[in-house]
């Protein structure tokens, strides 16, 4: 699996990512039975700052392309809602 990553800063407190997850990170945040294991690509979100930062897995996809579609839907929706306009979203 490639280690391709997408990242978009939605606002000052929220960032959305697409990436594979290390098995250790996966097991820290989910039971082994959830989502069929750590294989695949994950759409994740961090919210908050510093010690109050929270990590959430929003979705899992079998391929980078499928995860990218989910990521694009989230980012486009955020831009449409006016949280940020498309030109100010930070893509990596």
Q: How far apart are CA 63 and CA 1, in angstroms?
A: 9
pTM for the whole structure? 0.76
The answer to whether the beta carbons of residues 61 and 70 sit under 8 Å apart is yes
Residue 78 parent element (H or E):
helix 64-80
Instruction: Give the lowest-confidence range in 22-26, 27-31, 61-65.
Output: 27-31
pLDDT at 35: 76
Asked if the model's pLDDT at residue 87 lies above 50, the reply is no
Q: How far apart are CA 36 and CA 34, in angstroms?
A: 6
Tell me how far CA of residue 18 lies from CA of 1, 5, 51, in angstroms: 13, 5, 22
Question: How do residues 53-86 score in pLDDT, each as one tens digit?
Answer: 998 889 999 999 999 999 999 998 887 776 444 4
What does the block give as tokens for 24?
A: 């250790």
């Amino acid at each position: 699996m490639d280690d391709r990553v997408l990242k978009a800063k939605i606002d000052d407190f929220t960032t959305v990512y697409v990436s594979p997850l290390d098995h250790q990170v996966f097991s820290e945040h989910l039971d082994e039975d959830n989502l069929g294991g750590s294989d695949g690509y994950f759409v994740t979100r961090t919210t908050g700052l510093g010690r109050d930062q929270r990590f959430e897995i929003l979705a899992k996809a079998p391929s980078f392309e499928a995860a990218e579609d989910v990521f694009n839907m989230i980012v486009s929706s955020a831009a449409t809602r006016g949280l940020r306009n498309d030109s100010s979203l930070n893509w990596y």
